[in-house]
Amino acid sequence: MMMNKLLIAAIPVCCFMSCKSDKTENKMDVSSETSKVEKAAQKTYAELSVKEGGEWKEGSYEGGQFKNITEFEWPGGLNDHSYYLRYEGPGWENSQVGYRLYLDWRNAIDIFGKKVDTVVLSHVGQDGFDSYHENADWGQDILKVGKSLGIGSYGRLLGDSVVHFQKVSKTMAEVNNTDNSSSVNIKYNDWQSGSDTVDLATKLTIYPQGRYTQVSLDPSKAISGICTGIVKFDDVPLMKKEGEEWGYIATYGAQTLVSDQDLLGMAIFYKKSEAQEVKAGKHDHLVVFNPSDEAVTYYFLGAWSQEKDGIKDEAAFVKHIDDQLSHLDKNGKL
């Protein structure tokens, strides 16, 4: 696959968390090569799109057209709702489900519920920011994320609050598509939380079979409180189960943007030896990992009731995640 790269040489200062009234010119160097992907043969897909041909105005990017790239680098962190990245960050999918990560200080992961069994993300969000929140033939954005990690994203628990990515010196993202998987690699330089500063390298991988995403978190040094989680709703209870080597936390119920009757199941699978505790946060059900300078691996998944030939009720969802847990205990991976 030919590679498109985007490197930001200078940016408007208004896009940082510490907003200033003065702005600098935004300059970029984008190669003219266009990636050609045979969509019909694809079983997984990951992408990242930025706007070109417009201009920055008071922290938002106005005008222009979206262009797919494979690498992205941004000094500091983007503000949320800057309209610069198509659906706010990278997306990845297989025939059953899609996900997106907000590539800004929030760093939450959202779910694209799919009614079709083909890859669709290259068409999503091309006609405006809000379009993918509306019901379409392919599906829609379905998760109520709010101030949470969404499903399976990562942060650091300090006290009773989860620190997201408000303070970083540089964010770099890369998407890769192969015959057997698609992945999003993100590196955060000088992530500040509390009194600690670390680099964090992450990888999110989706495979042709299964609704799950495999996540790897690799910090530059051991710090306490690195965590993942599932957005918490008062009327949706938490389910927990531990096997021999692995465990899961999960929720099932009416927890989507679609309607009060629309059903969604979410789960995170973690290795027991890597987890310090499972606890409730302000906005999330959390799995907190042991301090380590080694990479931590876990899995998350979402199962929407409107998915084509999908899981329609809680009993079927629990059976599905129990089967996944058994597979992990037997094989060590999904």
pLDDT score, position 128: 62
**C-alpha span between 27 and 229 (Å, rounded):** 36
- Give the mean pLDDT of 197-205: 98
Residue 13 has pLDDT above 80, yes or no: no
Rg value, the chain, Cα: 19
C-alpha to C-alpha distance for 57 and 16, rounded to whole angstroms: 14
CA–CA gap between residue 165 and residue 172 (Å, rounded):
13
Residue 178 has pLDDT above 60, yes or no: yes
pLDDT in tens, 82-135: 889 999 999 999 999 999 999 999 999 999 999 999 999 999 998 766 788 888
Q: Give the C-alpha separation, 275 to 150, whole Å.
A: 19
So what's the pLDDT on residue 82? 82
Choice among 127-136, 199-208, 225-234 with the minimum mean pLDDT: 127-136
Between β-strands 71-75 and 170-177, what pairing exists: parallel, antiparallel or unpaired? Answer: antiparallel
More reliable by pLDDT, 312 or 41? 312
Partners of 239 in the β-ladder: 250
The alpha carbon of 140 is separated from its chain's Cα centroid by a whole number of angstroms, namely 16
Q: Which residues of 83-96 are buried (b: 16+ CB within 10 A; e: fewer)?
A: bbbbbbbbbbbbbb
- The residue behind tokens 């998915």 is 307
For the residues of 40-53, what is the DSSP string, one character each? GG-SEEEEEEEEES
Annotate 138-155 with DSSP letters as a single string.
Answer: SEEE-B--TTS-BEEEEE
Strand 65-69 versus strand 71-75 pairing type: unpaired
Euclidean distance between CA atoms 236 and 317, whole angstroms: 14
Percent of the chain with pLDDT over 90: 78
**Residue 58 Rama label (left phi>0; alpha psi -120 to 50; beta):** left
Q: Higher-confidence residue: 14 or 248?
A: 248
d(CA 90, CA 101): 6
Segment 129-175, tens digit of pLDDT: 678 888 899 999 999 999 999 999 999 999 999 999 999 999 999 99
Tell me which H or E stretch contains 321: helix 314-331
H/E run at residue 284: strand 284-289
pLDDT of 77: 65
pTM equals 0.88
Q: Is 50 exceeded by the pLDDT of residue 31?
A: no
Q: Are 154 and 216 in contact (CB under 8 A)?
A: no
d(CA 276, CA 332): 19
Taking the CA atoms of 109, 110, 113 and 119 in sequence, report the sign of the dihedral they define: negative
Run of H or E residues at 182: strand 182-193
Contact 10, 28 (CB under 8 A): no
- Percent of the chain topping pLDDT 70: 87
The residue to which tokens 């709702």 are assigned: 81
CA 76 to CA 65: how far, in whole Å?
A: 24
The residue extents of the domains of the chain are 5-331
Angle at 7 between CA 188 and CA 68, to 5 degrees: 95
The pLDDT, as a whole number, for residue 131 is: 80
> Is residue 205 very low, low, confident or very high in pLDDT (cuts 50, 70, 90)?
very high
Mean pLDDT, the chain, whole residue set: 88
Report the first-to-last Cα separation within the chain, whole angstroms.
27
